[in-house]
Amino acid sequence: MQVILSAMILFLPALFAMLVLLWLRKQNWIIKLSSVLLATLIVINTYQIYFPDQDLRVRYANVLLS
């Protein structure tokens, strides 16, 4: 059960990001910029789940500067 829940926690943000990318493609927006921003959000969300003791500002800075 724990493995299924962990897989869902990682899978759902990726699915949401993919749906948003498809919507943005239909809207003829800048695909590269949106994909980079969505990938950053997925990475931040994953860090938030697996490293909850780290400060949010530090996590954002580490992800954006890496």
Q: Which of 38, 43, 49, 46 is nearest to 65 (CA)?
A: 43
pLDDT of 4-62, one tens digit each? 777 777 777 778 878 877 887 777 667 777 777 788 777 777 766 666 676 767 766 77
Tell me the C-alpha to C-alpha distance, in Å, between residue 13 and each of 6, 41, 51. 12, 9, 17
* pLDDT (0 to 100) of residue 42: 79
Our count of domains for the chain comes to 1
Question: Residues near 9 by Cβ (< 8 Å), separated by ≥ 6?
Answer: 49
- Expressed as residue numbers, the domain containing 18 is 2-65
Residue 25: alpha-carbon gap to chain centroid: 18
Report the 10 Å Cβ neighbour count for 12: 11
Report the 10 Å Cβ neighbour count for 57: 8
